[in-house]
């Protein structure tokens, strides 16, 4: 079904929206499990019924192929909903906590209360998935939500607003706009902010949150390294890297950003990568504008940025191993592989976020750890190879938000794994149970019994008898 061509720019008032949601706080926050489930089921039904509309909107924004939308936008969200529907009773159930000796006589548990009114700000690269996915966790945890999707994908953002209108009453609101609107919204004292976007804007969000001491989950980006050891199966490795890198036109936060490959197998890997990229994304042996499995760069600003990154790498001595048509008007950027890239090329210093893959070689294994640790902690780290000793050295001596061994990007959709970054690549975790926790206040509740309590031993006056009692407690308990 086609999406309206006319995009209405709404100018909502952030304060009014926040206040309206705050009014709903009590109703939403005390919602029973049945009500939460009802909301999630309604959302699931809407998504399944409107799959074609979602595909049409995302296609209109950046020509993402329909099947790719199914796999990378719709399935991760429906998976999140089903996971929540199956496990919500278990997630919401208070966790009993054992008493230690000094707490004998008490009973304790951790309850999971909704944080309240939450803000979700999302990016353009998976515009449906990264807006509605966090909303699922937010609703599962029993909150009201204000959602601000990206201004760079206006068709998808408009459809999300329509979806919210059709599915929810007034416990969820959508506001469409860019930086100015986001700034206005961020001034409100939300109970939690879930932000997905660049580390630069993440810092702005965290500063604004600090004004109200609002908790944050920051899902950010960075340069995710991909290490290829000589013990790797080159064919499998190339196929999986080609998929993880050029999916969504390389505009994936966890795409392998650059390859670190052992010198001796570089040529073999590049030959295989070229062949796999063509097989996966090409038609009749080549990747052209007609290729139906290959998307587009989001806008001209990013197109120019990517072109500059590529030119800079070539000027600094990089060797173009794979390239093709690069046309600004249709924002078509053929997959690019560049070898012999010096570490001071921009492509090795900035997050690429597009279809350019630099290949850097190493001789000694220690060089790999040095290169990774010379950059801020990445969102993901990929290791291809069967050499356990080297693999463990890389894992133990570097830090990353997540790791995937002998594959790429799969860790994102695993329903039982937490997803998130570390420091520059993010703060906090999301998905499944971890998403539920991000939007919940883990509230400890301790229940004391009547009459004598062990804690009386520590009440004043601080007599010598009490001092004598404290000695063994400090020593042995």
User: Is residue 242 helix, strand or coil?
Assistant: helix
Stretch that binds ligand NAD, among 194-202, 281-289, 321-329, 361-369 (CB under 6 A): 194-202
Q: Is 291 exposed, middle or buried (0-12, 13-18, 19+ CB in 10 A)?
A: middle
Which of 87-95, 215-223, 276-284, 309-317 is the region at the interface with ligand NAD (rule: CB under 6 A)? 215-223
- Please report, to the nearest 10 degrees, the dihedral formed by the alpha carbons of residues 87, 91, 93, 99 taken in order: 130
Q: How far is the CB of 296 from ligand NAD (least distance, A)?
A: 15
| Catalytic residue, candidates 253, 262, 272, 351 | 253
SS3 288: coil
Residue keyed to tokens 């993402």: 64
Cα angle at 351 between 291 and 205, to 5 degrees? 115
Applying CB under 6 A, which of residues 31, 43, 44, 121 lies at the interface with ligand NAD? Answer: 121
Distance CA(204)–CA(354), nearest Å, equals: 24
The contact pattern for ligand NAD, residues 312-341, with x = CB under 6 A and - = no contact, is ------------------------------
Where helices occur in 93-149 by DSSP H, the ranges are 129-140
Q: Determine which helix (DSSP H) or strand (DSSP E) holds 97, and give its type and residue range.
A: strand 95-97
> Whole-angstrom Cα distance, residue 236 to residue 405?
12
- Is the Cβ–Cβ distance between 269 and 417 less than 8 Å? no
Residue sitting closest to ligand NAD (CB)? 221
Residue 253 among the catalytic residues:
yes
Terminal alpha carbon distance of the chain: 68
> Is 408 annotated as catalytic?
no
Q: Per CB under 6 A, does 46 bind ligand NAD? A: no
Q: How far is the CB of 219 from ligand NAD (least distance, A)?
A: 3
Q: Which is nearer to ligand NAD, 99 or 349 (CB)?
A: 349
Q: Which residues pair with 306 in a beta bridge?
A: none
CA distance 375 to 259: 14
**Residue 447 forms beta bridges with which residues?**
107
Phi-psi region of 85 (alpha: psi -120 to 50; beta: other; left: phi over 0): alpha
183 counts as binding ligand NAD under rule CB under 6 A: yes
Which DSSP symbol is given to 73?
Answer: I
| Binding characters for ligand NAD, 344-383, by CB under 6 A (x = yes) | -------x-x-------------------------x----
Q: Binder to ligand NAD among 65, 134, 221, 335 (CB under 6 A)?
A: 221
Q: How many chain residues interact with ligand NAD (CB under 6 A)?
A: 29
Using CB under 6 A as the binding rule, the residues of this chain from 376 to 415 that contact ligand NAD are 379
Tell me how far, at minimum, the Cβ of 152 lies from ligand NAD, in Å.
6
- d(Cα 70, Cα 66) in Å, to the nearest integer? 6
Residue numbers 21-40 binding ligand NAD by CB under 6 A: none
Q: Given the complex with ligand NAD, which of 121 and 313 has the nearer CB atom?
A: 121
Backbone angles phi, psi at 395, to 5 degrees: -65, -40
Taking CB under 6 A as the rule, does residue 151 contact ligand NAD? yes
Q: Which among 171, 219, 272, 351 is annotated as catalytic? A: 219
Among 72, 155, 156, 196, interactor with ligand NAD by CB under 6 A: 196
Distance CA 205, CA 68 (A): 30
Site string for ligand NAD, 242-271 (x = CB under 6 A): -----------x------------------
Residue closer to ligand NAD, measured from CB, 49 or 207: 207
160 binds ligand NAD (CB under 6 A): no
By annotation, the residues acting in catalysis are 219, 253
* Site residues for ligand NAD per CB under 6 A: 121-125, 130, 148, 150-151, 178-179, 182-183, 186, 196-198, 201, 204-205, 219-221, 253, 351, 353, 379, 421, 426
């Amino acid at each position: 079904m086609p999406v309206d061509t006319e995009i209405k720019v709404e100018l909502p008032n952030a304060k009014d929206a926040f206040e309206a949601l705050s009014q709903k706080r009590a109703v939403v926050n005390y919602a029973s499990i049945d009500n939460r489930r009802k909301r999630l089921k309604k959302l699931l039904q809407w998504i399944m019924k409107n799959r074609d509309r979602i595909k049409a909107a995302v296609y209109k924004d950046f020509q993402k192929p329909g099947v790719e939308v199914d796999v990378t936008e719709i399935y991760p969200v429906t998976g999140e909903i089903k996971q929540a529907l199956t496990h919500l009773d278990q997630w919401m159930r208070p966790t009993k906590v054992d008493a230690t000796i000094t707490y004998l006589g008490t009973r304790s548990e951790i309850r999971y209360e909704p944080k309240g009114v939450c803000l979700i700000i999302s990016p353009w690269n998976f515009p449906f998935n990264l807006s509605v996915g966090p909303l699922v966790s937010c609703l599962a945890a029993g909150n009201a939500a204000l959602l601000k999707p990206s201004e760079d994908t206006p068709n998808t953002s408009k459809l999300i607003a329509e979806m919210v209108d059709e599915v929810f009453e007034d416990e969820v609101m959508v506001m469409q706009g860019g930086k100015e609107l986001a700034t206005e919204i961020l001034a409100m004292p939300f109970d939690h902010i879930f932000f997905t976007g660049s580390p630069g804007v993440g810092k702005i969000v965290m500063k604004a949150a600090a004004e109200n001491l609002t908790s944050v989950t920051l899902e950010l980006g960075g340069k995710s390294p991909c290490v290829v050891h000589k013990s790797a199966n080159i064919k499998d490795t190339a196929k999986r890297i080609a998929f993880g890198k050029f999916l969504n036109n390389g505009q994936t936060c966890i795409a392998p950003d650059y390859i670190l490959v052992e010198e001796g197998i570089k040529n073999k890997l590049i030959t295989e990568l070229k062949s796999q990229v063509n097989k996966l994304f090409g038609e009749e042996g080549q990747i052209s504008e007609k290729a139906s499995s290959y998307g587009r760069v989001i806008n001209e600003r990013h197109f120019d940025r990517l072109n500059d990154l590529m030119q800079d790498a070539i000027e600094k001595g990089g060797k173009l191993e794979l390239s093709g048509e690069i046309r600004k008007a249709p924002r078509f950027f053929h997959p690019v592989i560049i070898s012999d890239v010096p570490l001071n090329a921009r492509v090795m210093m900035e997050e690429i976020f597009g279809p350019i893959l630099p290949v850097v070689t190493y001789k000694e294994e220690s060089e790999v750890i040095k290169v990774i640790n010379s950059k801020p902690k990445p969102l993901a780290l990929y290791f291809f190879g069967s050499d356990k000793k080297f693999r463990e050295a890389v894992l133990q001596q570097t830090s990353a938000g997540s790791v995937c061994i002998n594959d790429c990007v799969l860790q994102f959709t695993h329903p039982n794994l937490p997803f998130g970054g570390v420091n520059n690549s993010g703060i906090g975790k999301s998905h499944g149970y971890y998403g539920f926790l991000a939007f919940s206040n883990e509230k400890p509740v301790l229940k004391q019994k009547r009459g004598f309590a062990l804690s009386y031993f520590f009440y004043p006056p601080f007599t010598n008898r009490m001092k004598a009692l404290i000695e063994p407690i400090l020593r042995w308990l």
